[in-house]
């Protein structure tokens, strides 16, 4: 099993999950009051937008990580499979979250359920990175040693951030959704991986891949 196969399969799952997401938005039930009904569905739309960005940014970070890998082993493939499971599962809690917020019923439960899914997802990311980077097991030689530890801290911290999201879910479901949006933006800015790229910038072949 070579690395690019795993990436192509993962890309497929990312692309399908992000596109399937639209099926989670509840359809209008009464076309006589369509404008009203679409207006009431704004939490469905907000949950859609947040999860779309979450999956899109994860796709981006998935590639960043795989660019740092020189090889893959069977355990990494299975860890990646669990990671993909938490992502492919996201449309389910997203739909429930949006509908619960729109109905104003079950919102706390839905926010907890969504946050627990994201927490499990964060655990998979951390597991993937720790497995790949322990003793530089699967890393490319150019990957800077300092970033190895920084990224381990970032991924471990990610599980903590999503644990906090579970806590926020108990306080306020809307705040919880906003917190997930904020975390997505944080990962989009992606400070640590940028650092690694800068340090690896001198290496022609990797830097070239970034630019082309």
Nearest-approach distance from CB 15 to a copy of itself, in angstroms = 3
**Given the complex with a copy of itself, which of 41 and 148 has the nearer CB atom?**
41
Q: Are 178 and 126 in contact (CB under 8 A)?
A: no
User: What is the radius of gyration, based on Cα positions, of the chain?
Assistant: 19
Residue span binding a copy of itself (CB under 8 A) among the ranges 98-106, 122-130, 145-153, 159-167: 98-106
Task: Indicate whether 122 belongs to the interface with a copy of itself (CB under 8 A).
Answer: no
**Given the complex with a copy of itself, which of 37 and 156 has the nearer CB atom?**
37
Question: How far is the CA of 197 from the CAs of 14, 81, 144, 187, in angstroms?
Answer: 23, 26, 9, 15
Question: How far is the CA of 145 from the CAs of 10, 36, 68, 195, 200, in angstroms?
Answer: 27, 56, 12, 12, 11
| Cα–Cα distance, 130 to 210 (Å, whole number) | 24
Residue 151 sits at the vertex; the CA angle it makes with 149 and 157, to the nearest 5 degrees, is 105
Number of residues that bind a copy of itself (CB under 8 A): 65
Nearest-approach distance from CB 209 to a copy of itself, in angstroms = 5
Question: How far is the CA of 115 from the CAs of 35, 46, 126, 174, 209, in angstroms?
Answer: 31, 15, 16, 12, 35
**Binding pattern to a copy of itself, positions 184-203, x when CB under 8 A?**
----x---------------
Task: Indicate whether 20 belongs to the interface with a copy of itself (CB under 8 A).
Answer: yes
Task: Indicate whether 9 belongs to the interface with a copy of itself (CB under 8 A).
Answer: yes
* Residues engaged in binding a copy of itself (CB under 8 A): 1-3, 5, 8-9, 11-23, 25, 27-28, 31-35, 38, 48-49, 52-53, 56-57, 59-60, 63-64, 70-71, 77-78, 81, 84-85, 88-92, 95-96, 99-100, 103, 105-106, 109-110, 113, 188, 209-212
């Amino acid at each position: 099993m070579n690395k690019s196969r795993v990436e192509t399969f993962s890309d497929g799952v990312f692309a399908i999950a992000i596109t399937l997401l639209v099926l989670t938005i509840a359809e209008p039930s009464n076309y006589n009051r369509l404008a009203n009904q679409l207006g009431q569905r704004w939490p469905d739309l907000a949950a859609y937008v947040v999860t779309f960005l979450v999956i899109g940014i994860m796709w981006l970070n998935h590639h960043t990580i795989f660019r740092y890998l020189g090889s893959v082993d069977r355990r990494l493939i299975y860890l990646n499979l669990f990671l993909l499971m938490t992502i492919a599962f996201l449309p389910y809690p997203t739909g429930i979250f949006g509908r619960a917020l729109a109905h104003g019923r079950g919102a706390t439960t839905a926010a907890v359920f969504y946050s627990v899914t994201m927490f499990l997802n964060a655990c998979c990311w951390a597991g993937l990175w720790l497995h790949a980077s322990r003793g530089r097991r699967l890393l490319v030689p150019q990957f800077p040693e300092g970033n190895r530890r920084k990224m381990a801290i970032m991924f471990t911290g990610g599980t903590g951030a999503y644990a906090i999201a579970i806590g926020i879910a108990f306080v306020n479901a809307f705040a919880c959704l906003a917190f997930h949006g904020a975390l997505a933006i944080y990962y989009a800015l992606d400070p640590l991986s940028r650092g690694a790229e800068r340090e690896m910038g001198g290496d022609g072949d990797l830097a070239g891949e970034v630019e082309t």
